[in-house]
Structure 1
Amino acid sequence: MSGESPHGHAGSARRILALVSVLLPIAFLIGLLGWAALRVGERRGRIPINIRGGEVPIKPRPARDVTLTLFDGRTLRLADLKGRVLMIDFWASWCPRCRAEVPLLARVYTEYRSQGVEFVGVAIWDTAEAAEAFLQEHGITYPNGLDGAGRIAIDHGVTGIPEKYFVDRRGMIRRKLIGPVSEEVLRRMLDDLLAAQ
């Protein structure tokens, strides 16, 4: 006789099974988090920074009728901008790519505003003080407000920053850009929407 009881093997097997059932989900979760970290790139807080830029195919849809409290105290309803081509830019003062592209946005806005184009900036996951300082530092003149809770960003389906939505004169979102934008792409998107009837 070996001296081992049949219950000893069953107990060992149960312990191994219990250990595997605990460790396997943990290993899966660690792997999933690692994969997500590699896909996101840089992160700050709860929202990823879009490293690579480009257009994301979307189905045209009506822009949400949201109200944004601007940093100057006024309120702006996006629906009131119907009849103009609109670019909604989601950004944050701590985002390096947002900082890099803001001089371009300011310059293009100045050129296109008289053609029936409006830009609206929406600072997300930021503080009012930091966002206002950022706007003053860069001389931004187009309307900007803070979406501190991220409600407007969630309503639009924002996945990272910088992120832009282009709205036609009828109030339909036609294009979506993620990441930093080049001058050529920005001008082309605005020109396309201005030319559309």
Structure 2
Amino acid sequence: MLSERLIQFRLHQFIVAGVLLLACGYTVAANQPSMAPDFTLKSREGVNIKLSELRGQVVMVNFWASWCGPCRQEMPLLQQLFDRYQSLGFSLLGVNVDEDRAAADKMLSDLPVSFPILYDDRSKVSKQYQVKAMPSTFMVDRDGRIRYLHKGYKPGYEEEYQQQIRQLLRE
């Protein structure tokens, strides 16, 4: 029979091994970018936008919801990034995941943006991207590969976004 101390030690080893495996998984994803799943969604203007049609540009795909406080905080900062880099080959797609489009539209009336807003009211695209946190932001390079993923938002992330956008635009 194993002593209690040995059981605790093995449990600790198991937890550390799990954390290391998770860390390695994120490293592998960063070193070997995967193709961004293609999708077509209807925009706020009623036009279908297809991600693959933006190939050749750096694309930020930002999943957001009206009930998400950090999304509200981040939205004006995303607009600033869009304004600054749009002319250099940068696109930003704001993908709303609310089931009720009216809730998204109300938020957008309070926080107007000019970048395309797409509606994923059935969560089809957010499931493809395995979105687990709001907001979730994917940086897609000119070849259509996901290069960076940000889960959630905290003040200062926009500086990291800006560095990544610049890097991807230079490639």
TM range (shorter): 0.7 to 0.9
Larger radius of gyration: 1
Count of matched residue pairs? 141
CA distance in 1, matches of 2:165, 2:84: 11
Q: Percent identity?
A: 33
Q: Does 1:159 align with 2:126?
A: no
Q: Distance in 2 between the 1:109 and 1:147 partners?
A: 21
Query: 1:110 aligned to 2:79?
Result: no
1:186 aligns with 2:148: no
Which amino acid is 1:165 matched to? Answer: F
Report the Cα offset of residue 137 of structure 1: 1.9
Q: Deviations over 1:43-97 (max 9, x none)?
A: xxxxxxxxxxxxx652411111210111110000000000000000000011000
Flag structure 2 segments of 5+ consecutive residues without an equivalent. Answer: 1-25
Unaligned segments of structure 1, at least 5 residues: 1-55
Q: Does 1:128 align with 2:86?
A: no
The CA RMSD measured in Å over matched residues stands at: 1.3
Which TM-score applies when normalising by structure 1? 0.68
> What is the letter of the counterpart of residue 50 of structure 2?
R
TM-score (norm 2): 0.78
Per-residue deviation at 1:183? Answer: 2.4
Equivalent pair of 2:62/2:94 in contact (CA under 8 Å): yes
CA offsets per residue over residues 4-59 of structure 1, 9 Å max, x none? Answer: xxxxxxxxxxxxxxxxxxxxxxxxxxxxxxxxxxxxxxxxxxxxxxxxxxxx6524
Which of these residues, 60, 70, 84, is aligned with residue 87 of structure 1? 60
Structure 1 consecutive aligned stretches of length 4 or more whose deviation exceeds 3 Å: none
The Cα shift of 1:166 comes to 0.5
